[in-house]
Structure 1
Amino acid sequence: MSAEKPDAALPWKALDNSVHAALSHACLSLSPHSILLAWMDWATHLAASPGKNLELARLAFEQAGQLQSYLCECLAGLHEGEESTATPPVDDRRFRDPAWDHWPFNLLHQSFLMHQRWWEAATRDVWGVDPHHEHAVAFAARQWLDMFSPGNLLLTNPVVLRRSFAEGGANLGRGLAYFLDDVTRHRHRLPPPGAEQFVVGRDVAVTPGKVVLKNRLIELIQYAPATEKVHPEPILIVPAWIMKYYILDLSPHNSLIRYLVEQGHTVFCISWKNPDADDADLGMDEYLDLGFRAALDAVTAILPGRKVHATGYCLGGTLLAIAAAAMARDGDERLASLNLFTAQTDFSEPGELALFIDESEVALLEAQMADTGYLLAEQMGGAFMMLRPYDLLWSRLVGEYLLGERRPMNDLMAWNADATRMPAKMHAQYLRRLFLNDDLSEGRHPADGRPVSLGDIRLPVFSVGTTADHVAPWRSVYKLHYLSPTEITFVLTNGGHNAGIVSEPGRPRRQYQLHTRPAGGGYIAPDEWQATAPVQQGSWWPAWTAWLHERSGEPVDPPRMGTPRGSYRVLGDAPGEYVKAQ
């Protein structure tokens, strides 16, 4: 009997894949089936909920009364020849400029905000609606309404009108020039204006070091010592593969890597290759073997007999947690500690990013990636932008195209524009295994063909979450507390997914909370933890290095760069070549 033909080779499968790939391109990688199912689920259940409809009608009448009272107060002020001092019923940071308090813009923005709040109520707490569909409908309604905010339109934005009259429309001329420049840059895949001030290896990623390992997937950088003595245990940093590693080595004043070196640490960092179509077959196993394990082998060969402080950022931290669990399972004791920055290990509640991840959405992405071999950076960036549309999209569009003010580029913005692609196999695997199936927290995620358990980890853990993280919400990061009984020092710092980590000492308005749960200690719920952990002012970096110092030996002479006669010789200067690939 002949072997069964693989599914991928079936003609109808190939036809469907081509159609789905074309659909993905046409729909900007958003599954129309998911959107339609969510709206149908919400609409049919809302139609069958007379009590909810009566409540929405009551809310509409209440808002109409509030708006009418506010209108009467405003008109009374106008009749008396004075500007109204009426307090708006709804407050929102988008309309804090005093120009919005003037007639008729005060009525416009209040009407918009009430309308928005009505839709928030209409899309929440509808009987019988699937929670994922409920969140998707609420998110879609919010995105749609934001498009028509009076703050986003020329004729209804008093700040823009005032600027236009004052400058005789010159701001609109500049805005048009900025728009045409952005279109040209997008068509030719050029970096945003000002990015040329932050060249990798010249302005950013300039901490001295050498590349000591290069394979198909990574370059490993060993940084030069900056002190006469160093702590014996090196630090190995595993950044996320969805970003360039130099988020941790930006400008000299805010480089975490430089800070660590100056504190007497020997630092190694993985620089991931920016994959192309030839790397479509790279999966999670390759990222584990060619990535973390290859780097760890190099570090322990360069510094034999020394344990390693392994440090992972974002998905790099998730990969590191998988590797640490596999090492614990197999009796590998080369790690001294586990340090995880905004890294999720339980994906049951991953925040608003889950809105873009369901079976239909992942299947559509898989079809597209099978056609190209990778996921474009712009697609992931677009998803992140939709999570914070006002801060990342609308305020920028209004500022640049209507007010004619182009934001000055900084190192973090330039890094954010220097995005990476993702191999098809790896991206599909981590979406399915981690986000859809939550295999890691459930003890099903494989490493070397066998599942791993986070409960096997006994290393001391230093974990960092950020209060405004839309990619890895801190309560999701915190869930490691009930997945592993080990000692966990948890830090909650203000800021977002990136700005909360790039938080150098001396940066204004920085604060954090820190608490250590001892090994085997009782569970504290995240809200209780936040309410009881003391607030400390300043950067969390010194607290981390103090934690590392407590778990490090007596200082020793700095190591050589690489192994002069071994497999890990110096291959070139940092930051290497992979990080420069576009």
Structure 2
Amino acid sequence: MTTKDDISQESLERLNTNLARVEELSQRLIRALSDRQGANPSLSGPDGDVFVKAGAAYWSEMMRDPARVFEHQLEFWGKSVKHFLEAQQAVAQGLEAPDDDTPDDPRFSNPLWRTHPYFNFVKQQYLLNAEAVEKAVRDATDLDPVEKQRLEYFSRQIIDMLSPTNFLSTNPDALERAVETEGESLVRGLENLVADLEANHGEMLVRLADPSAFKLSENIATTPGQVVYRNDMMELIQYAPATEEVHATPLIIFPPWINKFYILDLKEKNSLIKWITEQGFTLFVVSWVNPDESYADIGLEDYIERGYLAALREVKAITGEDKVNVVGYCIGGTTLAMALSLLGHRGDKSVKSATFFTTLTDFSEQGEFTPFLQDDFIDGIEAEVAEQGILRSFIMARTFSFLRSNDLIYRPAIRSYMMGEAPPAFDLLFWNGDGTNLPGRMAVQYLRQLCQRNEFAKGGIELLDERLHLHDVDLPVCFIACETDHIAAWKDSYRGAQAMGSKNRTFILSESGHIAGIINPPSKKKYGHYTNTDMSLPAEEWHERATFHEGSWWPRWGKWLAKRSGRKVAAREPGDSTHPPLCPAPGSYVDPASSD
């Protein structure tokens, strides 16, 4: 029989054990933070000038129309006082929360946010505060559009950061879990925090996926193939055929080098690489090197010459074909367009057709990245790469995460650090955390010459002794854009497609976003897509008149590609006598263990 004394002794022992773990973790925490090599401070927030301008605009509005400003202030004060009185009355009448007509919000899904007077008061006051800040930003009418957009973005970041769910004392889910586990969840959360800091050299980047759940070439990136060429910029992987015959014209995919290529080859059922081989194509994929500080002076021209042009040369030599088809994804597509312009200047007809996945070539609209593409941030990046030689991967990861901060920062941090939960075994999020650095020179070229000055779409960008222009691209092209893409907005991708010199253009708009809209296998029957052959229309009208098709765009693109891929020939095994296999896919640049 268990006595109260036994239970008390057990609780005391658990408490002592947890205290000992906290002491050990605290020491590890201090060591991890001491290892931190922070980025340039200007990359952690906007230049103070944006807030000075916002304040000036607010006071300008105050002087011009004081009644309107006071009206908003009095509305906020009135709502706050009324809310406080309602909460007081509810408590006096029996500890019940007042009526709550606030909109549904996944952050506040716990029933206590509606039924418990304390949590309900905190939530409703937070939402009132957020509304007041948003109105104040809207009132700043004297700001130019870019400054207004920046102010909206950074004020939203502050609002999201101050959500009561982000603090233990005002998060009922975390408090309930702590009580249920007798504090064990908080210790596990501290363990998760320390592990994340240790893994990222003192930077707080919350892990989104369990790093032990996946191993390249075992349960992701498993499509068979061989590295058949390697230089200091890339490895060229040729995938094994999945059919007895293949189209004569080979296909090369140039992924972005901001992340690793195996997003195209996650689990077998989601693998675009596997699907392409099953359609009877000889497939080559470029795997870019993850640069260190020795790559500081590598620029876009090096990616073109030692990446794109080298791959074209080696694929033609291996297959014996004089023409190839190519695909570029994201920045890999942007640079592909510049490479195609260069080939045109040189009279090289090696490329038969080009496909662009979520690609920007006209940067006249900067979309959600506008806050990060102004001089204060890019000046900070220039200072960062001048010191480090590279733009370190965690800076890129942090920037992209803040565009979806609730989904990619705060909710994962709450689950990991406050609830003590292990990150999920999710292949896409595992890949997302496997980031890469960018060469310093290339990063500045991309930000200054393309994003800020839009040289490729305007007067032309000077690379490799040529002035390269978007309208130089005159071969058959197919663009795949994604309807809710927040990285490469589809309307901007469409505008770039319109500006190309090609008379044979196809534009396909997939449902979903930057990744899910591309990695959309037909077997899932999940996201549909739109088509419209009239690309003379403005983007909105193109969409309104487009035909919607259920299911993935992959089969439609496969037919488009097959028409441009020639006759069928016997399937080709990876490599040839002058290109012996160097190591199995996914290669040593993406997985150093594969070269052991």
With the shorter chain as reference, the TM-score category is 0.7 to 0.9
SS in 2 for 1:545: helix
CA contact (8 A) 2:40 2:384 kept: no
Q: Deviations over 1:126-154 (max 9, x none)?
A: 33323332222222222222222111112
SS in 2 for 1:353: helix
Per-residue deviation, 1:120: 2.2
CA–CA distance in 2 between the matches of 1:201 and 1:191? Answer: 25
Per-residue deviation, 1:339: 0.9
What is the 5 A alignment of 1:433-582?
A: 433-486=449-502, 487-507=504-524, 509-517=526-534, 521-522=535-536, 524-564=537-577, 566=578, 568-581=579-592
Per-residue deviation, 1:449: 1.8
CA contact (8 A) 1:234 1:268 kept: yes
Q: Which amino acid aligns with 2:583?
A: G
CA contact (8 A) 2:325 2:565 kept: no
Q: Tell me the equivalent position of 1:40.
A: 52
SS in 2 for 1:230: strand
- Cα distance, 1:507–1:74 mapped onto 2, change above 3 Å: farther
Q: Which amino acid aligns with 2:475?
A: L
Q: Tell me the equivalent position of 2:153.
A: 139
Q: Deviations over 1:182-218 (max 9, x none)?
A: 2333338999573133222333222111212111111
Q: Which amino acid aligns with 1:37?
A: D
- Cα distance, 1:87–1:480 mapped onto 2, change above 3 Å: same
Q: Which amino acid aligns with 1:550?
A: K
- Cα distance, 1:191–1:357 mapped onto 2, change above 3 Å: closer
- Cα distance, 1:339–1:85 mapped onto 2, change above 3 Å: farther
SS in 1 for 2:524: coil
Cα RMSD after superposing both structures? 2.8
Q: Tell me the equivalent position of 2:13.
A: none
- Cα distance, 1:191–1:142 mapped onto 2, change above 3 Å: closer
CA–CA distance in 2 between the matches of 1:68 and 1:337? Answer: 65
CA–CA distance in 2 between the matches of 1:407 and 1:25? Answer: 25
Q: Deviations over 1:475-501 (max 9, x none)?
A: 222212431253332222233322322
Provide the TM-score with structure 2 as the length reference. 0.85
Provide the TM-score with structure 1 as the length reference. 0.87
Per-residue deviation, 1:72: 7.1
Q: Deviations over 1:62-91 (max 9, x none)?
A: 455556667777777777769668452444
Q: Tell me the equivalent position of 2:143.
A: 129
Per-residue deviation, 1:541: 1.9
SS in 2 for 1:124: helix
Per-residue deviation, 1:54: 4.0
Per-residue deviation, 1:544: 1.8
- Cα distance, 1:81–1:364 mapped onto 2, change above 3 Å: closer
Q: Tell me the equivalent position of 1:256.
A: 272
CA–CA distance in 2 between the matches of 1:493 and 1:53? Answer: 48
SS in 2 for 1:48: helix
Identity level (%): 36
- Cα distance, 1:31–1:54 mapped onto 2, change above 3 Å: farther
- Cα distance, 1:66–1:381 mapped onto 2, change above 3 Å: same
CA–CA distance in 1 between the matches of 2:74 and 2:526? Answer: 42
Per-residue deviation, 1:386: 1.2
Per-residue deviation, 1:407: 2.7
Per-residue deviation, 1:56: 4.1
Unaligned segments of structure 1, at least 5 residues: 1-23
Q: Deviations over 1:206-254 (max 9, x none)?
A: 2111212111111111111010111222211001111111111122221
Per-residue deviation, 1:52: 6.1
CA–CA distance in 2 between the matches of 1:482 and 1:574? Answer: 37
CA contact (8 A) 1:350 1:471 kept: no
Per-residue deviation, 1:338: 1.4
CA–CA distance in 2 between the matches of 1:176 and 1:349? Answer: 42
- Cα distance, 1:399–1:197 mapped onto 2, change above 3 Å: closer
Higher mean alpha-carbon deviation, 207-216 vs 168-177, is at 168-177
Q: Which residue among 105, 111, 123 is the counterpart of 2:125?
A: 111
Q: Deviations over 1:380-425 (max 9, x none)?
A: 1111111111001110111122222223122212211211111111
Q: Tell me the equivalent position of 1:16.
A: none
CA–CA distance in 2 between the matches of 1:26 and 1:226? Answer: 46
CA–CA distance in 1 between the matches of 2:410 and 2:164? Answer: 11
CA contact (8 A) 2:270 2:521 kept: yes
Q: How many residues align?
A: 552
Q: Tell me the equivalent position of 1:3.
A: none
CA–CA distance in 2 between the matches of 1:467 and 1:110? Answer: 33
CA contact (8 A) 2:391 2:440 kept: yes
1:277 aligns with 2:289: no
Q: Which amino acid aligns with 1:504?
A: P
